[in-house]
């Protein structure tokens, strides 16, 4: 298999990682009609998930083209039309960056949150004498079970600014496991984790396998036609000793997105000692790149498909092995039903 390389999927940090630059100064020829035409063509030729999204991009062109004129369309109107068209893709990795802000599809809308941070910290963590923050991981021992909460796989604030290439968390993860050898097992909570560097999920999975293991495939867009894709290329994860053999439960919700969606995929499909519970993840199986529009706006598009070990799409999200919901009644009672369900499995 090819040499493993890391992928940055965080919906928060990707823009800055790949495109931390000033907006291009518009020129007099950068008229609304040309911006619209360029925008539509860039999406048509580069977006990699039309088949999964079932969006008629030509129909959106036909509906909106007549609304754009060089003489009457102002930036705010053009921006609104382009954002609405992108919204039809329902892809959290796709957005439009303009001087007034950045559009973004809310992949959590209409789904239960399955997480109440106030309940979690007030009733399960804050008064726990074992609570500690080890790098990017919050850990505690609850009912003799080791609990780790990972809120991001992406950029970290190091005091001097944002570190866009954070240290892979293998050392942090290993240190916590080594400090708690006598616990019954492990709960990993990635509810609310919107993604980041896939090297971090890979580093965790490596502790649960004992041989090089196929984990995912990349299938890049390589031409202007919607069917123009390169071959899907598989990538291995190498094990890290000692292998962790105790029971592991992974907690997910709809806000588990991008690299965290990928993490749920590999944890569900590969180790035998892992059970995923909670809610379906938010998806995010397209790797994005950036395109410049003639007026200086920046378009982000999913252009490479991230597929699971069986070459199946993960864009639509990962179903848990056991679906457990956190209801408003549970929250009113001060209960995190998903966490308590996980603890009862040990």
Residue 171, pLDDT > 60, answer yes
- Give the model's pLDDT for residue 9: 56
pLDDT surpassing 60 at residue 123: yes
Q: Which two tokens stand for residue 172?
A: 């942090």
Q: How confident is the model at residue 270, as a pLDDT?
A: 96
HEC secondary structure over the chain: CCCCCCCECCCCCHHHHHHCCCCCCCCCCCCHHHHHHHHHHHHHHHCCCHHHHCCCHHHHHHHHHHHCCCCCCCHHHHHHHHHHHHHCCCCCCCEEEECCEECCCCCCCCCCCCCCHHHHHHHHHCCCCCCEEECCEEEEEECCEEEEEECCECCEECCCCEECCCCCCHHHHHHHHHHCCCCCEEEEECCCCCCEECHHHHHHHHHHCCCCEEEEEEEEECCCCCCCECCCEEEEECCCCCCCCCEEEEEECCCCECHHHHHHHHHHHCCCCEEEEECCCCECCEEEEEEECCCCCEEEEEEEEEEECCCCECCCCCCCCEECCCCHHHHHCCCCHHHHHHHCCC
Between 10 and 191, where is the model more confident?
191
User: In the chain, what percentage of residues exceed pLDDT 70?
Assistant: 88
Q: pLDDT at position 226, please? A: 94
Check residue 104 and give its pLDDT.
87
What pLDDT, on a 0 to 100 scale, did the predictor assign at position 307?
Answer: 98
pLDDT score at 17:
38
The reported pLDDT for the residue numbered 7 is 59
pLDDT of residue 166: 52
User: Cβ distance 97 to 298 under 8 Å?
Assistant: yes
The reported pLDDT for the residue numbered 19 is 36
**Do the Cβ atoms of 276 and 323 come closer than 8 Å?**
no
Higher pLDDT, residue 27 or 311: 311
Tell me what the pLDDT averaged over the chain comes to. Answer: 90
Say if residue 25's pLDDT is above 70. Answer: no
**How many Å apart are CA 326 and CA 336, to the nearest integer?**
7
Residue 29: pLDDT above 90? no
At which residue do the structure tokens 């893709």 appear?
Answer: 89
Residue 24 pLDDT exceeds 70: no
Residue 167 pLDDT? 57
Cβ–Cβ under 8 Å, residues 173 and 217: no
Interval 184-209: pLDDT, tens: 999 999 999 999 888 899 999 999 99
Amino acid 154: pLDDT: 79
pLDDT digits (tens, 9 = 90+) for 253-279: 999 999 999 999 999 999 999 999 999
Residue carrying the six token digits 């850990």: 139
- pLDDT by residue (tens digit) across 67-95? 999 999 999 999 999 999 999 999 999 99
pLDDT digit string (tens) for 129-162? 999 998 889 999 999 999 999 999 975 545 555 4
Rounded Cα gap, residues 20 and 161, in angstroms: 14
Tell me if 275 sits within 8 A of 37, measured CB to CB: no
């Amino acid at each position: 298999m090819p040499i493993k390389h890391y992928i940055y999927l965080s919906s928060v940090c990707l823009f800055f990682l790949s495109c931390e630059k000033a907006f291009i100064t518009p020129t007099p020829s950068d008229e609304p009609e040309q911006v619209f035409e360029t925008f539509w063509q860039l999406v048509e030729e580069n977006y990699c998930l039309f088949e999964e999204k079932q969006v008629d991009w030509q129909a959106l062109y036909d509906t909106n083209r007549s609304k754009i004129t060089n003489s009457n369309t102002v930036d705010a109107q053009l921006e609104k039309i382009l954002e609405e068209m992108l919204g039809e893709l329902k892809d959290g990795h796709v957005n439009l960056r303009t001087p007034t802000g950045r559009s973004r599809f809310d992949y959590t809308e209409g789904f239960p949150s399955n997480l109440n941070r106030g309940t979690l910290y007030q009733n399960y963590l804050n008064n726990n004498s074992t609570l500690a923050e080890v790098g990017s991981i919050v850990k505690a021992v609850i009912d003799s079970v080791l609990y780790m909460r990972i809120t991001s796989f992406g950029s970290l604030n190091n005091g001097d600014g944002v570190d866009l290439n954070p240290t892979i968390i293998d050392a942090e993860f290993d240190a916590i496991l080594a400090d708690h050898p006598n616990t019954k097992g492990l709960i990993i909570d990635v509810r609310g984790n919107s993604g980041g560097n896939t090297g971090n999920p890979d580093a965790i999975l490596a502790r649960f396998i004992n041989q090089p293991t196929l984990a995912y495939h990349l299938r890049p867009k390589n031409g202007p036609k919607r069917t123009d894709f390169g071959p899907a290329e598989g990538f291995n994860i190498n094990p890290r000793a000692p292998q962790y053999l105790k029971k592991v439960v992974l907690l997910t919700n709809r806000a588990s997105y991008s690299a965290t969606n990928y993490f749920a995929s590999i944890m569900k499909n590969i180790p035998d000692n892992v059970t995923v519970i909670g809610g379906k993840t938010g998806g995010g199986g397209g790797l994005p790149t950036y395109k410049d529009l003639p007026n200086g706006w920046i378009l982000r598009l999913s252009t490479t498909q991230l597929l699971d070990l069986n070459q199946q799409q993960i864009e639509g999200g990962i179903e848990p092995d056991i679906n457990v919901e956190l209801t408003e009644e549970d929250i009113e009672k001060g209960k995190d039903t998903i966490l308590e369900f996980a603890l009862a499995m040990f």
